[in-house]
Amino acid sequence: MTEERSFTLRQVDRARGDLYTISDDVEFIKEQLARLPTRKELPTRKEMAQTALLVTLTTAALVLAGFEALFR
């Protein structure tokens, strides 16, 4: 059996407002997801390790150069 429900205009108006709010939120989430980099744009594990090693060696070289300059 189908039950017919009658809604007041106020209830329909609230539901419509909720629907528009949800729709706006979904659009916002879609825009945020579109900004995320794709898998190909993300650095690989090897590239990240190489970058970390380069930063470490560069920092060590700068510290040693600073010590040499300080003691001369």
- Whole domain around residue 14: which residue ranges? 9-70
Q: Is 3 among the domain residues?
A: no
Q: Tokens representing 35?
A: 């900004």
**Within a domain: 30:** yes
1-51 pLDDT per residue, tens: 567 778 888 888 888 988 999 999 999 999 998 888 777 777 889 999 999
Number of structural domains in the chain = 1
Give the DSSP per-residue string, 18-64. HHHHHHHHHHHHHHHHHHSPPGGGSPPHHHHHHHHHHHHHHHHHHHH
Q: Is residue 20 part of a domain?
A: yes
In a domain, 47, yes or no: yes
Instruction: Please determine, for residue 52, whether its predicted confidence score (pLDDT) is greater than 90.
Output: yes
Residue 2 lies in a domain: no
| Neighbouring residues of 51: CB distance < 8 A, sequence distance ≥ 6 | 43
Q: What is the pLDDT at residue 2?
A: 62
Q: With 0.75 as the threshold, say if the pTM is over it.
A: no
